[in-house]
Amino acid sequence: MKTIKFMKHNFGQLLGAALSFYVAYMLGSGKILNYIEFADPLNEMAMFVMCIFCASGALMCIEKPKTNQNNK
């Protein structure tokens, strides 16, 4: 039950991180060049770094579910 509540409250952050990591993977493997044409390899590297930063930021925004501390 805790896992479902965790996923429910942090769905946006987890989805954003997964998509950003997937785009970074496509950039690293060169598959994205079928969809986007970059003017310079430096632009591609900058987008890769931005995707990694975006995914890392999304993972840092995940909130831990609060537990009830009043159990006696």
> Which tens digit of pLDDT belongs to each residue from 8-42?
888 899 999 999 999 999 999 999 999 999 999 99
**What are the φ/ψ torsions at residue 40 (nearest 5 degrees)?**
-150, 145
Boundaries of every domain in the chain: 2-60
Q: What is the rounded distance in angstroms from the CA atom of residue 17 to the CA atom of residue 24? A: 10
Comparing 68 with 14, which gets the higher pLDDT? Answer: 14
Q: Does the pLDDT value for residue 70 go beyond 90? A: no
pTM score of the predicted model: 0.79
